[in-house]
């Protein structure tokens, strides 16, 4: 739960999208979006726990998903900037579409490969330290902790987005400029990772780089 919560705090495609949905459409649609993305995340984690070798070999799938994710982030940035410069448009037309928010969150999460190597790395560390054992009760408890941590982390953005929206009142275009900028930076970072070979495939091959020594501080805080 702690790893999941901390991993949900850095700005990313899904939590920023949840924040924008909260700011423009309200808390309930944003929570539906978060629950949809959360469901896919825990399914991915559960599959990776029992099929690590298979997941590691899916390089082509990860590379395709990375380019799809990049296209989605660019589209989100463009739609945010469009809403910022068009007085008659106050919402990101992608995130405020008629598509059910739960399905939207599940779809965006399914196409986002970042979470897979993240949990692949942490699961590898926990298996190595015998904190996580190959048992169904461990797997189920682990999944519940991940779900709670991710949901709490998303709530920070959801309620934060609502707070910012209340403060801005009629200056919604400012929030659209900021969020459009965040999506643009995210797209640039994603593109850099793809071309510099620091992408999801690289992280799967080097899972120890994901934790960066934080495992000792979280698993054994007295160290």
Q: For residue 202, give its domain range.
A: 2-219
Q: Rounded to whole angstroms, how far apart are CA atoms 73 and 190?
A: 9
Count of Cβ atoms closer than 10 Å to residue 42 Cβ: 18
Q: Rounded to whole angstroms, how far apart are CA atoms 37 and 21?
A: 14
For position 156, what pLDDT does the model report?
A: 93
Region 67-86: what's the mean pLDDT?
A: 85
For position 208, what pLDDT does the model report?
A: 56
State pLDDT tens for residues 35-58.
999 999 999 888 888 776 666 666
- Count of the separate structural domains present in the chain: 1
Q: Rounded to whole angstroms, how far apart are CA atoms 77 and 182?
A: 8
Region 106-128: what's the mean pLDDT?
A: 82
State pLDDT tens for residues 181-214.
888 988 888 888 777 766 555 555 555 555 555 5
CA 184, 187, 193, 195 dihedral sign is: negative
Percentage of the residues of the chain whose pLDDT score is greater than 70: 79
User: Between residues 152 and 52, which one has the greater pLDDT?
Assistant: 152
For position 222, what pLDDT does the model report?
A: 45
End-to-end CA distance of the chain: give it in Å, rounded. Answer: 20
């Amino acid at each position: 739960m702690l790893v999941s919560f901390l991993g949900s705090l850095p700005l990313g495609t899904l939590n920023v999208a949840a924040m924008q949905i909260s700011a423009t459409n309200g808390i309930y649609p944003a929570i539906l979006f978060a629950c949809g993305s959360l469901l896919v995340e825990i399914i991915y984690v559960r599959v990776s726990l029992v099929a690590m070798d298979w997941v590691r070999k899916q390089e082509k799938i990860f590379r395709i998903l990375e380019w799809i994710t990049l296209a989605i982030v660019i589209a989100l940035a463009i739609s945010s900037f469009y809403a910022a410069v068009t007085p008659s448009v106050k919402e990101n037309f992608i995130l405020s579409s008629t598509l059910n928010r739960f399905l939207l969150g599940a779809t965006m999460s399914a196409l986002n490969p970042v979470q897979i190597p993240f949990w692949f790395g942490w699961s590898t560390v926990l298996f190595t330290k015998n904190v996580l054992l190959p048992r169904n009760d461990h797997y189920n408890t682990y999944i519940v902790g991940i779900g709670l941590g991710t949901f709490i982390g998303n709530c920070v953005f959801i309620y934060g987005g609502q707070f910012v929206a209340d403060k801005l009142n009629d200056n919604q275009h400012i929030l659209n400029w900021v969020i459009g900028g965040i999506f643009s930076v995210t797209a640039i970072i994603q593109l850099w990772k793809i071309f510099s070979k620091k992408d999801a495939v690289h992280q799967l091959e080097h899972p120890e780089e994901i934790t960066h020594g934080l495992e000792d501080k979280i698993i054994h805080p007295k160290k």
